[in-house]
Amino acid sequence: MARRSTSSSTGRPTGTGPSGPRNRTPQPVRLRRRTFGDVVKAFLAFVVLLVLVVGVPGALAVTVGWPLPRSAPSMDWLSQPIDVQTFLNALTVVVWLAWAQFTACVLVEVKAAVSGVGLPGRVPGAGPSQLLARQLVAALLLVGATAASFTPGLSQLGHSLEDNQKGTVATAQATPGILAQQQEQAKSTAAALAEQAGHAAAQAEQGGSTAAHGATKYYRIQPPEGRHHDSLWEIAQRHLGDGRRYKEIYELNKDRTQPDGSRLSEASLIRPGWIMEMPGDAHGGELVENPDAHVSPEVRQQIGDYAQTGDHAQHQQHQQHQEQGGGQHAGGDGATAQITVPSQRQSGDSGAPAAHETSAHSSSSSSSSFGLSEALLGAPLLAAGLLAALGRRRRQALWQSALGAVGGRRGMEPPIPAGDAQDVQDALLVGADPEGVRQLDRSLRGLAAALTAESRSLPVVYAAWLSHGDLHLQLAQPAGKPPAPWQLGQDQTFWTLSRADADHYEDTDAAAPYPGLVSLGTMDDSRLLLNLEAVPGIVSLSGREADRAAVFASVAAELATNGWSDRMTITLVGFGADLTPLAPNRLRHLDDVEALFETMEAETRQRRGALGAADHHSVLTGRTGPAQHTRWAPNLVLLATQPSAEDAVRLAELAADAARLGIGYLVGSERDDLPGAAWAMEITPDGRLLAPLLGLELQAQLLPAVQQRAVVELFVESDPERDPDGPTTTPPFLVDISEQGRPAVYARLVGPYEIIGLDTPDGDRSPLLHEALALLLLHREGVHPRVLSSALWPRGVTEDVRDALLDRLRGWLGTDPDGSPRLRADAAGRLTLAKSVVSDLDVLRSLYYEATQGKGVESRAVRGRLLTDALVLVRGPLLADRAEGRYRWLTHEIIDAQLPLLVADIGLALSAFHLEKDRAEKAIEALGAALRTAPEDERLWNELLRATHATGDPDRLRALAADLIARSGARGLPPRTEALLDELLPTWRDGAAATG
């Protein structure tokens, strides 16, 4: 579990300051034992309880007696005068009721103390009475064998619950943000750290015999011998004065190894013998600051070992690291920065610990990935960017094929990946979170638009955190109140946008304000995006070469394909030439460091001059406000190899002013002492990304070599320029279109969704079954089970739910006459359909293939019949009546581009068939049918002009030309259409000018 070394869970800074760190090396102190005063307090509490619970009713019974009438009163009773006895009787009833209420409070508190219930029940209307009863019962329990400090003593009687609550909130809001300090402050801080580290070392040499104020305190979970079980709520109630502060104890000890080898994973599950580190203001006799002779050697050893896993131990390592090399990591302007995990939301908190939220893009609770890449499954933003870029590449290939369509190039089918490429494509489909990318992009652009409206500049952002759908921007320094609906976070350096508020943002034409944000990894269920463009100097990455390469590949791939950027340049030095197909317009490859210096020195000079001429302080000035037209695109340099000592110094000088110029540097290093590195990170063999001076320990986002090659293969195979002779046009699945090939199950997908051959399933699962069948029909090559579940349940689902649906789907489809199931799994475990289950899209492809490359090539009559039958199948767009909110996986498909092109190809082929016999009207009819599905296809309109011209009716041709001109609007007609009109209707421009 990643832990911070810069702030404690109580919200108190553990960095240096006037008071020093809160969690220091444990110091010896006498264990507080029960005193004579405790016994006196317990005795007094017993006397008070005896008087209030027993004495009060006894006194009332003796002095007053029964206060109520002994018989039912008549109406005359209401008109009788009120004498002294009546008043005393009424007052006695009030006292009896108060006594009953207080006695109920005592019983509730005693029951909670004996039974082990963490929070006693509330007695209605008994706030002060129950608080008094709680304190008296707690004081009485001081004489118990193991409850010497069960709750705060009588000295706290009268402290209000409101005061405790305010203190808790204040503590929770005290988490530090980014610390931007000048160089002198950084030096003084380092000196203070070194002094404290030396002081701690001296104490260790002396055997730790000196007690220090504020030393770390520990509590050992007590066994349930003669009393109720311990709970974090009660521990917080006893030692922090407020049970609601149990979360602070939980955060301090979460996922730390206990003496029995287990870990604290839920706040409600603790075991006897476990050790809990306590907040610094904890008090009470059961606490241990450092075991002395009163504690057994075994317990002393356990607490000592446990202390080495806490925040204070990491803080000491931080001190030592900064003492040894902190001076080498100053930024170009002498500033230092601290990345802090944002505080968790406090709205909606309840008395019980909340469960962790389910990942939006996780499709199974199982830890097994079924052979898919864990790296891509755990990188939702990277996967979404790659998937979107791959879809754009495939659509581009389709359109380029269509525009240059001649002969066999028509009806192009994109290649079906296999092997590692297929596994990676499935991992992208499962892991991608396109909604998260869309929300991040809209939120950032919405912020930029709001700041522009207020004539404010963009603040410098060092990092962004995505946590449970909320977005937290960590600023370099306070920048005032953010525009609504953004709010200040845990301090002045955090701007926060909740997921609910982000949903209100819509697309805007504002410039992307922070295109240099890139995912580095996750920490405490939060995803960190570092803004490489804003780093005041170089970011260095040390570790093994293969591990560094996986980080660099991930960073390069996400920057090249992310959806929250506009223009940018990613300069890859000494690596990544094979990554260029991911984004040829963004990625630039340089061979070595010398080429880098030659390129970047010139660009640095040019940017400095341009900023000076525009009177801009930084590139951020050109992204909002009056100067928004100057949209400075970042240049992010990724140098994966270790530069020489001379080159490192030269690179540090080049990067000194990089943040202001919109240039970022990520440099690989064999060690963590690269000159000029503002931020130093290390990637470990087990995939953790460490940045001690930033207080970060992330689970790194990686793109290992195998997955990198597979990703590149997907893009290369989809490159429209890869094969100038044209790819194969054979459909992935051909059906028998003869009368003997009648399918057992026939689904109509082109138009409204209908299924022939199966009964409509009953129940709420029917829409899911239909959707699952549609997905399988569109992927005859097979669908990975996790891809299927991710498509049907984008927010995740357990394996048993998914398997239950597959069993229903298998039962619904039934079996073939030979007994084989119609839903089966191939050798790789992917789900496939039997050939007896067919869709109209399969038939459409097969008819066109047979007409143009099969039987229709030899027989004109067969070709005409096949093309006519194919066009009749087209009833509208794909799945025209699908329910809103379902079939979202279609956004990852290219069928929305394939189907119109296929229909257009069929219409063009049938039109040519009719024009061969001068049947212009038949050709116009075929083209009109195709235009209803592919209205934007230029080829259909051009062929319609030729067919209309063939009718010999110039007025009809002029009317069609006028319709085309009106449709084109301000864009004007495409060049090919203009050239064709010049040929067929030379006077069309005169008519267009008159219309204009």
Mention every residue, 6+ apart, whose C-beta is less than 8 A from residue 95.
56, 60
C-alpha triplet 791, 465, 166: angle, nearest 5°: 120
Percentage, residues of the chain above pLDDT 70: 74
pLDDT per residue over 688-720, tens digit each?
999 877 778 899 999 999 999 999 999 998 876
Lowest model confidence (mean pLDDT) among 79-93, 402-416, 426-440: 402-416
pLDDT band at 294 (very low <50, low <70, confident <90, very high): low
A 10 A CB-CB count for 204 gives 11
What pLDDT was estimated at residue 202? Answer: 45
pLDDT band at 271 (very low <50, low <70, confident <90, very high): confident
Q: What is the mean pLDDT of residues 921-948?
A: 92
pLDDT per residue over 88-127, tens digit each?
777 777 888 888 888 888 887 777 666 544 445 667 766 7
988-995 and 954-968 helices, crossing angle to 10°: 50
What pLDDT was estimated at residue 38? Answer: 67
pLDDT band at 63 (very low <50, low <70, confident <90, very high): confident
Q: Is the pLDDT of residue 365 over 60?
A: no
What pLDDT was estimated at residue 450? Answer: 92
Q: What is the mean pLDDT of residues 571-581?
A: 92
Q: What is the mean pLDDT of residues 256-266?
A: 79
Where is mean pLDDT largest: 263-277, 724-738, 925-939? Answer: 925-939
Q: Is the pLDDT of residue 145 over 50?
A: no
Q: What is the mean pLDDT of residues 954-965?
A: 90
Mean pLDDT of the chain: 77
Beta bridge mates, 70: none
Q: Is the pLDDT of residue 908 over 90?
A: yes
Where is mean pLDDT largest: 98-102, 342-346, 569-573? Answer: 569-573
Q: Is the pLDDT of residue 506 over 80?
A: yes
What pLDDT was estimated at residue 867? Answer: 94
Surface-to-core class of residue 74, CB atoms within 10 Å of its CB (0-12 exposed, 13-18 middle, 19+ buried): exposed
Of the two residues 142 and 812, the one the predictor is more confident about is: 812
Burial 124-147 (b: 16+ CB within 10 A, else e): eebeebbbbbbbbbbbbbbbeeeb
What pLDDT was estimated at residue 324? Answer: 42
Measure the CA–CA gap between 793 and 159, rounded to whole angstroms.
51
Q: What is the mean pLDDT of residues 358-363?
A: 39
Q: What is the mean pLDDT of residues 293-313?
A: 73
pLDDT band at 629 (very low <50, low <70, confident <90, very high): very low
Q: What is the mean pLDDT of residues 879-904?
A: 88
Mention every residue, 6+ apart, whose C-beta is less than 8 A from residue 857.
863
DSSP string, 6-71: SB-TTS-B-S-STT--SS-S----PPP---HHHHHHHHHHHHHHHIIIIIHHHHHHHHT---S-SS
pLDDT per residue over 792-811, tens digit each?
998 888 888 899 999 999 99
What pLDDT was estimated at residue 398? Answer: 80
Measure the CA–CA gap between 614 and 905, rounded to whole angstroms.
53
Q: What is the mean pLDDT of residues 581-601?
A: 92
What pLDDT was estimated at residue 227? Answer: 42
Instruction: Specify the pairing of strand 538-543 against strand 663-669.
Output: parallel
pLDDT band at 895 (very low <50, low <70, confident <90, very high): confident
Lowest model confidence (mean pLDDT) among 160-174, 255-269, 834-848: 160-174
380-403 and 938-950 helices, crossing angle to 10°: 20
Three-state SS for 582-629 is HCCCCEEEECCHHHHHHHHHHHHHHHHHHHHHHCCCCHHHHHCHHHCC
Q: What is the mean pLDDT of residues 754-767?
A: 87
Measure the CA–CA gap between 230 and 150, rounded to whole angstroms.
10
Lowest model confidence (mean pLDDT) among 110-114, 165-169, 453-457: 165-169
Give the residue from 255, 521, 523, 469 showing the smallest Cα distance to 358: 469
What pLDDT was estimated at residue 243? Answer: 74
pLDDT band at 936 (very low <50, low <70, confident <90, very high): confident
Q: Are 848 and 411 in contact (CB under 8 A)?
A: yes
Segments in 663-780 forming alpha helices (H): 705-717, 766-778
Lowest model confidence (mean pLDDT) among 310-324, 539-553, 742-756, 960-974: 310-324
Mention every residue, 6+ apart, whose C-beta is less than 8 A from residue 817.
none
Say which DSSP state 754 is in: E
Lowest model confidence (mean pLDDT) among 755-759, 834-838, 883-887, 951-955: 883-887
pLDDT per residue over 518-530, tens digit each?
999 998 889 999 9
What pLDDT was estimated at residue 503? Answer: 87
**E strand or H helix that includes residue 519:** strand 517-523
What pLDDT was estimated at residue 600? Answer: 92
Q: Is the pLDDT of residue 228 over 60?
A: no
Q: What is the mean pLDDT of residues 986-993?
A: 74
Query: What 3-state class would DSSP assign to 669?
Result: strand
DSSP string, 784-814: -HHHHHHHH-TT---HHHHHHHHHHHHHHH-
Q: Is the pLDDT of residue 870 over 90?
A: yes
Three-state SS for 242-286 is CHHHHHHHHHHHECCECCCCCEECCCCCCCCCCEEEECCCCCCCC
Count of residues for the chain?
996
Query: What 3-state class would DSSP assign to 677?
Result: strand
Distance set, CA 382 to CA 23, 264, 497, 577 (Å) = 38, 32, 22, 19
Task: Return the structure tokens found at 700.
Answer: 């790194």
Q: Alpha carbon 804 to chain centroid distance? A: 28
Where is mean pLDDT largest: 149-158, 239-248, 638-647? Answer: 638-647
Measure the CA–CA gap between 686 and 163, rounded to whole angstroms.
46
Amino acid found at 713? E
Measure the CA–CA gap between 988 and 700, rounded to whole angstroms.
63
What pLDDT was estimated at residue 165? Answer: 34
The pair phi, psi for residue 745, each rounded to 5°, is -130, 125
Q: Alpha carbon 468 to chain centroid distance? A: 6
Of the two residues 927 and 334, the one the predictor is more confident about is: 927
What pLDDT was estimated at residue 204? Answer: 41
pLDDT band at 993 (very low <50, low <70, confident <90, very high): low
What pLDDT was estimated at residue 153? Answer: 29
Say which DSSP state 662 is in: T
What pLDDT was estimated at residue 918? Answer: 92
pLDDT band at 362 (very low <50, low <70, confident <90, very high): very low
Lowest model confidence (mean pLDDT) among 81-85, 245-249, 460-464: 81-85
Q: What is the mean pLDDT of residues 839-859?
A: 91
A 10 A CB-CB count for 8 gives 27
Measure the CA–CA gap between 531 and 517, rounded to whole angstroms.
4
Distance set, CA 69 to CA 9, 74, 85, 845 (Å) = 61, 11, 12, 96
DSSP string, 886-913: --GGGGG-SHHHHHHHHHHHHHHHHHHH
What pLDDT was estimated at residue 967? Answer: 86
Q: Is the pLDDT of residue 498 over 80?
A: yes
Say which DSSP state 225 is in: S
Q: What is the mean pLDDT of residues 232-259?
A: 83
